[in-house]
Amino acid sequence: MPSFSNARRVKHTAADMFNLVADVERYPEFVPLCAALRVKRRARSDDGIEILVADMTVAYKMIRETFTSRVMLDRPRLTIHVEYLDGPFSRLDNRWEFLPRGEGECEVKFFISYEFRSRALGLLMGAMFDAAFRRFADAFEARADQVYGVA
């Protein structure tokens, strides 16, 4: 089952990076392969966790696939967990963690594992997904520099 993880220290606060990643509606502007994202539902739990149900469309050349996921934005713990609900995967698990590291810096931890429902789609899109995940950290850091300024 393919997976990818990354930990990177950035010159932005953990709260700023959390807010940037939590702003899922902006993903089509800068996230590799993200052609569209639509939040279908929002709810807030009593313990401060915001829960979104969203459709994300990924596209590469002539291939377009949409999947639905539940996104749990845990602001008090500065974590984000994405659970797969429906679409071309048989499984998808995505987690973000934002750890304060000194004045105006944090460590961003990213993990994703996934498996396509169709072996053919997995063969077709697997290498492309792997390459895109390797560019995610750069894309989010560049977006943070654009939104918050370069430290």
| Domain regions of the chain by residue span | 3-148
Rounded Cα–Cα distance for residues 54 and 49 (Å): 16
pLDDT digits (tens, 9 = 90+) for 66-112: 999 999 999 999 999 999 999 988 999 999 999 999 899 999 999 99
Domain at 3-148: CATH code:
3.30.530.20
pLDDT at 46: 86
Distances (CA, A) of 91 to 22, 31, 58, 83, 133: 22, 21, 16, 9, 16
pLDDT confidence tier of residue 62, bands split at 50, 70 and 90:
confident
pLDDT at 151: 64
pLDDT at 79: 98
